Amino acid sequence: MTIVTLTSDFGVHDYDVAAIKGAMLHSERNLLFVDISHNIKHHDIVQAAFVFKNAWHHFPEGTIHLLSVKNFDVAHKGFLLIRHAGHYFIGPDNGVFWLVFEQMPTEVYQLPLPAPSRFPLCAVYAQAVGHIATQKPLQELGPLTQTMVQRIALQPVTTVSQIRGSVIYIDNFDNVIINIAQDLFEKVGRGRTFALYFKRHDPIRRLSTHFYDVPIGDTLCRFNSAGFLQIAIYMGRAATLLGLQVDDIIQIDFHNKK
């Protein structure tokens, strides 16, 4: 049985996801579907990439991943099939895969545009998934390509004693995720004390391991399961209560020990 994951901005109230799954089952019945998320904000490839890139590598090799967000412009850009690290990735060529992989994968196929229809995604995904699941040669689906649409993610700015990052995601618990990875924090910080500044709030000066390291209602920062720095309120909603939104600037100043 072939595992097929789905990540999209379709939501869960309409028929789109069910129609795509039904079309794939017409092509190959021996499929196991796993929904990563269909609650991506409409056309938000940055959010889609963040959610997807922190989930796909937990699946076994041979898994097929559909990443279907911001599909309205595929008539101009087309679709891609990527084989990478033993996995298969299918989706529109709109920059989302560049955000997932951060560089060009070595095996990328350009899928032909579907014939005009009421729901062309069904045809594209059903054909590609059925082809992969039955282990047919990938080059029969489309030619190899050396290009795909690029989208550069905003990166933290660092000095010897400072990191300026930004909010990249607000999770379901209203925790605030920042684009500062733990290895960058440790590389710049070198074990020094720090102060994390955001908006006009008092800075956070302690790195927590668990949410419960602080009293209920207190603000904290910690590294989440994906290895990114997050601001949270124990048993509270940090983004709402602190007024933080995606793209807000976060600054960390490191201080030499006296």
**CB contact set of 16 (below 8 Å; sequence gap of 6+):** 8, 10, 119, 121
Return the pLDDT at 73: 63
If we measure between CA atoms, which residue out of 193, 183, 194, 181 comes closest to residue 230? Answer: 181
Residue-wise pLDDT tens digits, 145-176: 988 888 888 899 999 999 999 999 999 999 99
pLDDT band per the 50, 70, 90 thresholds, residue 256: confident
Return the pLDDT at 120: 84
Return the pLDDT at 76: 61
For the full predicted model, state whether its pTM sits above 0.85: yes
pLDDT band per the 50, 70, 90 thresholds, residue 119: confident
Return the pLDDT at 151: 87
Return the pLDDT at 193: 96
**CB contact set of 164 (below 8 Å; sequence gap of 6+):** 156, 157, 158, 249, 250, 251, 252
Residue-wise pLDDT tens digits, 5-46: 999 999 989 999 999 999 999 999 999 999 999 999 999 999
Decide if pLDDT at 75 tops 60: no
Distance separating alpha carbons of residues 127 and 121, to the nearest angstrom: 10
Distance separating alpha carbons of residues 234 and 161, to the nearest angstrom: 28
Write down the mean pLDDT value for the chain.
Answer: 93
**Average pLDDT, integer, range 78-107:** 93
Decide if pLDDT at 78 tops 90: no
Residue-wise pLDDT tens digits, 184-243: 999 999 999 999 999 999 999 999 999 999 999 999 999 999 999 999 999 999 999 999
Q: Which amino acid is at 165?
A: G
Decide if pLDDT at 83 tops 70: yes
